[in-house]
Each structure stands twice: as C-alpha cells, then as structure tokens.
Chains A and B, each alone.
Chain A
Amino acid sequence: MRNLVYTAIAIGVGIVVLLGYFLQFDLLVNLRIVLLEWATILVATALLIGVVNLFIVHWRKSTTDQPNRVNSIALLAGLTITLGVAGWFGPTDPYSLWIFNYILIPIEASLMGILSVVLIYAGVRLLRRKPNLLSIVFITTAVVILLMTGPLFGIDIPGLAELRIWIGKVPAVAGARGILLGVSLGIIAAGLRILIGADRPYGGN
C-alpha cells in the first residue's frame, strides 16, 4: 500500500512538471516552479547527507584496523578543518580562499596532470587491446588534432590547419550529433519509464 502511494505521488508530480514545461498555463507553470523549488531543497539536503555519509565511511575505516587508514584520517582532518574554517569565517574569507587556492586547486591540478599521462597510456593500450580500424581512426584523429592544436616548433605545414578545422566541423560534429540524438532518445525513454511507474528509483520495484 505504501509503495502504491509513493508511486502515485511520483507519477502525479512527474506529469505536472512535464506538462508545466510544455504548456504555458499559469496554474501548471506555478505548480511546476513550486515543485522544483521543493526538489532543490531536497537536493541540497541530500548534499549534506552525502557529506555525513562520506564522514561515517571514513570514520569507520579510520577507527578499525584497515589498510590505508591513514588516508581516511587525512580526509577526516581535511574535512573538519575546511568545514570549521569556512563555517566560522565564511566561504569568501581569505583563510577559506587560502585553503581553496593553495590546497584544493593544486591537488585537482595534479590529478589533471596524472590524467594526461593516463590518457596517453590508454591510447597505446587501446591499439593493443582492440587492434581494429575504429581504434586506428580514433588514435589517428586524436594525434592529428593534438599536433595541429599546439605550435609545432614554429613549423607551418600547409593544409594542416584547414584539415583540423574540417575534422572539427564535419566528422566530429556529425558523430557528436548522432550520439547526442541517441542519448536524448534514451533520456526520454528513461524519463517515461519513471513517469509510468515501470522504473521506481524511489523504491518499490
């Protein structure tokens, strides 16, 4: 019975929001805005719960004898200090910005650096794992675009810049649009399945 009520609420709210998007009747639009505002509050609360979940997982790991518990202790210390500083002084205070500029940004930048190495390695591995025409085209295109994006020791090879523009404007855009159309159809299908109660991410499947 409880699941039935949840499903009815989800379907009702979904239909109102969908119709409010397409049909510009005052009542529907206003109702849609109110429902979306409620949802925004719930999402923000979920974010807080997410932080609590992160804390609990790492608290458990740091208090039990687990490998890499030092990482969890470091995470808990970082979380507590950042929360304390930003909560006490405010998020735009120089102390909070110091944490942001001198700890958070360098860590993310170093991860981006690692990412570039990982991607080069993945490119090499791709040809070993899937040595087919599609992989060769993928790697060749990536290398050609990369070569033409940066300065090539001041050498200007005629036609290369035009080739890059053509790849960017024709095959890349065509492929991207094809994929996006497929993704859009998938999004509509997933949304409609939830709207008719065939999929119930809110429980009761």
Chain B
Amino acid sequence: MDSLNILGLIFVLVFFGLMIAASVVLRQREGRKLREIPAFGRLRRAIGLAVEAGSRLHISLGRGQLLSPQSAIGYVGLSILDRIARSTSISDRPPVATAGEGSLGILSQDTQQDAAKYLGVESDPMRGRITGLTPYSYAAGTLSFIQEEDIGANLLIGSFGNEVALITDAAERRDGMTLGGTDNLTGQAVLFATAQEPLIGEETYAGGAYLGAGPMHIASLYAQDILRWVLIGLIVMGAILKLFSVL
C-alpha cells in the first residue's frame, strides 16, 4: 500500500480525533472565545440591518462542482446561507442565493426550504437561482440580478475566479456591502482588491463558526489551528534541516 496514502489517512484521522476532542472540551467549558474577524462582525450587523430596513441579502455560492475539491467551499456557503435564512426568514424580504452550478442551485433551494420549514413560514423555491453555467455568464447573470433587486449586502462565498470583480463592482455601484471569500488564489487576490470585506485563506471556512452554526464548527476551527501550528513547525524544521544539508 502506498505510504503517502497511509500518511494522508492518518492525517485525516488525527484531524477527526482533534475535532471530537475539541467538541468535548468546548461542551465542558463556558464562553468560547474566537479570534476577532472584523468581516463577520460587520456581516452580523448587516444581517440585523437587513431585517430592520427590509432590504434583501444576497448570497452568491459560486461555481464549485459537487465532484471536485471546490465543493467544500460551496458547502461552507450553504451552511452560511442556512444561518442567514434562519435569522432573516421573518423579514419582509428573505435572502436570495445565486449559484453557477446546477447541484449547488438545487441545494440552495433545499437549504432555504429547510430553514423556512423550521421557522414555519412559506418558502419560494425561486429564492435559489442559477444565474449562469459558465464563469462569465454566471457573473453577467448575477450582476444583472444585483442591479434589479434592492440588495443590502452581498456575500460571495464559493468558488470564483477573476470574474468575481464584475459582481463586486455591481454591488459597489448599488452601495451594498460586499463580503467575499473563495478557495481560488486568483479569486482571492481579486476579492482583496474589490470586496469591502475580503476573507483570506481559511477565514472563509470559519464562517459557520462565527455565525453560530453549531459547536462542531468551532471544534473544527480549533483542530485547524492545532494542525496549522504542526504544519508550520514541520515546514520550519524541514527548512532548517535543508539549510544544514541534512535533508
């Protein structure tokens, strides 16, 4: 059996063990402290404002295909959509999700339906829309959607490339807040320059924890932090060993 595969499996199992251990510790301890990420603080305020002012929240889920690694960021977007749908479904204008991939579009409708059922309100399946199926058609469809609706805040959490700049530009023109995070490096650079609140690297994956999606989201953040330090230690150690020609 390939040793690299075994190493990968061990890494996943250690991650899983750390998540379970962190969730047990968190259950025993009160007052979970998370590092301050200003973008999520502003997002919580934007959600409150949207409910009060009756403006709509738009969650853009990107184009992460279900059978690719990009699906993970799509799932993060869906769990944020679920939290937001539960907090704003009682408002006059519930949130709308746009997706650039068929399965993500269906899952966004399902997520909103689920949240509406939980709150005992009616749900419109058209609140989960597919605006285009190629990068630029998705951007074009989403920007025309932003221009037509009274959007208070735009959350771009999904797999995006450089076309995301067209969406953020449309949002900026409508004076809406933009918060964006993606798994794509080009998309991250573009979001850093164009979004009001860009999320870098793993910050995007922490969205659920910061919006109260459940203790397992916080536990997974702790596991990520521990393993990140382990990886940093290994990289530094490897560099030192290489410097002294041991490796």
Residues of A bordering B, CB below 8 Å: 18-19, 21-24, 36, 39-40, 42-43, 45-51, 53-54, 56-57, 60, 66-68, 71, 107-108, 111-112, 114-115, 118-119, 121-123, 125-126, 129, 138, 176, 178-183, 185-194, 196, 198-199, 201-205
Listed A/B pairs (16) with beta-carbon separation below 8 Å? A22-B8, A46-B106, A50-B102, A54-B129, A122-B168, A122-B194, A138-B192, A179-B185, A179-B200, A183-B201, A186-B205, A187-B205, A189-B15, A190-B76, A198-B216, A205-B114
Does B193 contact A122, Cβ atoms closer than 8 Å?
yes
Cβ of B46 under 8 Å from chain A: no
Instruction: Give the complex CA separation of A152 and B163 in angstroms.
Output: 27
B193 close to A126 (CB less than 8 A) = yes
Other A-B contacts than A47-B133, A71-B144, A204-B114, 18 sampled, CB-CB below 8 A, are A19-B9, A24-B5, A43-B65, A43-B66, A43-B102, A47-B102, A121-B169, A122-B190, A183-B183, A185-B227, A186-B201, A189-B15, A190-B72, A192-B15, A192-B220, A194-B75, A199-B79, A201-B75
A174 smallest CB distance to B (angstroms) = 10
Which residues of B lie under 8 Å from residue A51 when comparing CB positions? Answer: 102, 130, 133
Say if the beta carbon of B136 comes within 8 Å of chain A.
Answer: yes
How far does the alpha carbon of A54 sit from the alpha carbon of B133 in the complex, in Å? 9
CB pair A186–B12 under 8 Å, yes or no, is: no
Chain B 139-165 near chain A by CB (<8 Å), digits 1 or 0? 111001001100000000000001101
Residues of B187-228 whose CB lies within 8 A of A: 188, 190, 192-194, 196, 200-202, 204-206, 208, 213-214, 216-217, 220-221, 223-224, 227-228
Q: Which chain A residues border B118 with CB–CB below 8 Å?
A: 205
Q: Are B202 and A183 in contact (CB under 8 A)?
A: yes
Count residues of B near A (Cβ-Cβ below 8 Å): 81
Closest chain A residue to B9, Cβ basis: A22
Residues in A neighbouring B101, C-beta threshold 8 A: 46-47, 50
Whether the Cβ atoms of B107 and A201 lie closer than 8 Å is: yes
Task: Give the dominant DSSP class at A's interface.
Answer: helix
Known: A57-B129, A179-B201, A191-B72. A108 touches B114 (CB 8 A): no
**How many A-B contacts at CB < 8 Å in the complex?**
203
Known contacts A50-B133, A189-B19, A114 near B166 by CB under 8 Å: yes
In the complex, how many angstroms separate the beta carbon of A149 from the nearest chain B beta carbon? 15
Contacts of A123 in B (CB 8 A): 193
B66 pairs with A203, CB closer than 8 A: no
Contact B165 A122 (CB under 8 A): yes
What distance in Å separates the Cβ of A196 from its nearest Cβ neighbour in chain B? 7
Q: Are B192 and A46 in contact (CB under 8 A)?
A: no
- Min CB distance A160 to B, Å, is 22
Asked if A24 and B2 make an inter-chain contact with CB atoms under 8 angstroms apart, the answer reads yes
A191 shortest CB reach to chain B, Å: 6
Q: In the complex, are the beta carbons of A202 and B66 less than 8 A apart? A: no
Contact partners of A111 in chain B: CB under 8 A = 136, 139-140, 163, 166
B199 to chain A, nearest CB (A): 10
A174 CA / B185 CA spacing, docked (Å):
13
Cβ–Cβ contact B16 & A192, under 8 A = yes
Which residues from B are CB-within-8-Å of A49? 102, 105-106
